[in-house]
């Protein structure tokens, strides 16, 4: 069966505003246990802030309580439609070195997919691997 992004993407979006501080964004991301936040300005996707962006800022000794998301986000991120096959999304992510990819329906952002989502989907296609892992944990 050929899986589409709509089958595995997250629709529960974590969003931040460009004027938020890095500290505020990091706090939201940590609270939700996610590695990326979509940067929205008046309902329009203008960027993505990832854990890598935060790491670069912190390594540069930026004051996270003062630095703004707009200064560190990736502007105009690559997006893909919900009807995209999962394999195509994975290829885009690997080719470009992305861990997260926003999903759109026209101009509207409807989801996000992570590499973890992709891997989890593949593992579910092969349940025997999950069974082996459970057996190892029991030993």
Q: Dmax over Cα atoms in the chain, in whole Å? A: 53
Please name the residue ranges forming H helices in the chain: 5-8, 22-32, 51-59, 69-72, 86-96, 115-125, 127-138
Residue 137 has pLDDT above 80, yes or no: no
Residue 106's domain comprises 5-138
Phi, psi angles (nearest 5°) of residue 109: -80, 120
Q: Domain total for the chain?
A: 1
Residue 136 has pLDDT above 70, yes or no: no
- Mean predicted lDDT score pLDDT of the chain: 90
Tell how strand 80-81 and strand 74-75 pair up: unpaired
- The whole-number pLDDT of residue 92 equals 95
pLDDT tens figures, 39-79: 999 999 999 999 999 999 999 999 999 999 999 999 999 99
**How far apart are the C-alpha atoms of 60 and 63, rounded to whole Å?**
9
The CATH number covering residue 20 comes to 3.10.580.10
Residue 111 has pLDDT above 80, yes or no: yes
**How far apart are the C-alpha atoms of 36 and 78, rounded to whole Å?**
14
Q: Bigger pLDDT: 2 or 83?
A: 83
Residue 82 has pLDDT above 70, yes or no: yes
Count the neighbouring beta carbons within 10 Å of the beta carbon of residue 77. 21
């Amino acid at each position: 069966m050929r899986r589409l992004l709509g089958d595995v993407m997250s629709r529960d979006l974590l969003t931040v505003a460009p004027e938020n501080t890095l500290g505020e964004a990091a706090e939201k991301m940590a609270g939700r246990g996610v590695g990326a936040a979509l940067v929205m300005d008046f309902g329009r996707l203008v960027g993505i802030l990832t854990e890598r962006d935060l790491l670069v800022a912190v390594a540069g000794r930026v004051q996270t309580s003062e630095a703004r998301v707009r200064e560190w986000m990736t502007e105009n991120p690559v997006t893909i439609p919900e009807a995209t096959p999962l394999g195509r999304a994975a290829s885009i992510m690997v080719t470009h070195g992305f861990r997260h990819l926003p999903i759109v329906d026209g101009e509207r952002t409807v989801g996000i997919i992570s590499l973890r989502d992709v891997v989890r989907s593949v593992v579910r296609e092969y349940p025997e691997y999950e069974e082996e892992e459970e057996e190892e944990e029991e030993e």
